[in-house]
A and B are shown apart, each in its own frame.
Chain A
Amino acid sequence: MKSTMLLPSQFKINGLWMSLTGLLGMWFVAAGGLINVFRILVPENTWPDGSYPYPPTFMPINSVIGHISVALLIVGLVFFFFSKEKDEYLYHVRLEALQFAVIWQLAATVLMALYFSFFGTIPLESGLPIIITASAVGFWALFTLRYCYVAYLKSRQEN
């Protein structure tokens, strides 16, 4: 890829924070955390048994927060993966992290396929979506974690 097609390097750290905020928002929405906000804002609505009725504005607000969180996650990932590195060393780290993720993804995929073939309670064909999803998510997670570890944490620990 031509480096001129990439975003400036400042986008990288912003992208990382946006992705983490997006993930946090998605967790908040999925866990129904907003109901606890309503509990604090309008405590008089709590029922005698301690439960809290869903107010009419709950779902629309939850939905908006969910959409914003997903957008933050996607845009953040784009910023993170499609921005220039600050220097040649970080390009080297990125390549090394990519190789690391590819090797472990392949190993994990083969192991998962073997597990479903010989020990799984469901047929391999049914397990394929799980294998493919875990493989794809695992690749990006490994790549990101390895990159952040080598580029930022490891060199800080070595000092």
Chain B
Amino acid sequence: MKNTIRVERAILDITQAELAERVNVSRQAINNVEKGKYVPSTILAIKIAGIFGKAVEEIFEIEEGD
């Protein structure tokens, strides 16, 4: 699953650690979600999208094979 977290973080000018703190998870979790190595739960995805003020499907995009 692709995502635009890195871009959105750059727009808001926040680090992975700051985003992690806002959604109450570890920095490792954000790092792995951002790199596409870990698919977050619905709750975490909604929280992340909420921080960027966007809908979940604007942040996360399903790839072929998912």
Bind each other: yes
List the interface of chain A (C-beta within 8 A of B).
86-90, 92, 151-152, 155, 158-159
Which chain A residues border B28 with CB–CB below 8 Å?
89-90, 151-152, 155
Which chain B residues border A86 with CB–CB below 8 Å?
25-26
* Binary contact track B35-53/A, C-beta < 8 Å → 1, others 0: 1001011001000000000
Q: Within the assembled complex, what's the spacing in Å between the Cα atoms of A88 and B30?
A: 11
Q: When the two chains form their complex, are residues A88 and B40 in contact, meaning their CB atoms are under 8 A apart?
A: yes
Which chain A residues border B41 with CB–CB below 8 Å?
88
Q: When the two chains form their complex, are residues B26 and A87 in contact, meaning their CB atoms are under 8 A apart?
A: yes
Q: Within the assembled complex, what's the spacing in Å between the Cα atoms of A88 and B38?
A: 10
Q: When the two chains form their complex, are residues A90 and B29 in contact, meaning their CB atoms are under 8 A apart?
A: yes
The answer to whether the Cβ of B4 comes within 8 Å of any Cβ in the partner chain is no
Which chain B residues border A152 with CB–CB below 8 Å?
28
Q: Within the assembled complex, what's the spacing in Å between the Cα atoms of A59 and B24?
A: 50
Which chain A residues border B44 with CB–CB below 8 Å?
87-88
Q: Within the assembled complex, what's the spacing in Å between the Cα atoms of A102 and B32?
A: 24
- Quick one: which of A88, A158, A159 contacts B29, CB cutoff 8 A? A88
Q: Within the assembled complex, what's the spacing in Å between the Cα atoms of A87 and B29?
A: 8
Q: When the two chains form their complex, are residues A155 and B25 in contact, meaning their CB atoms are under 8 A apart?
A: no
Which chain B residues border A159 with CB–CB below 8 Å?
31
Q: When the two chains form their complex, are residues A89 and B24 in contact, meaning their CB atoms are under 8 A apart?
A: no
Q: When the two chains form their complex, are residues A92 and B31 in contact, meaning their CB atoms are under 8 A apart?
A: no
**In the complex, residue of chain B having the shortest beta-carbon distance to the beta carbon of A93:** B28
A sample of 19 more A-B contacts (CB under 8 A), given A89-B28, A159-B31, is: A86-B26, A87-B24, A87-B25, A87-B44, A88-B25, A88-B29, A88-B40, A88-B44, A89-B29, A89-B32, A89-B38, A90-B26, A90-B28, A90-B29, A151-B28, A152-B28, A155-B27, A155-B31, A158-B31
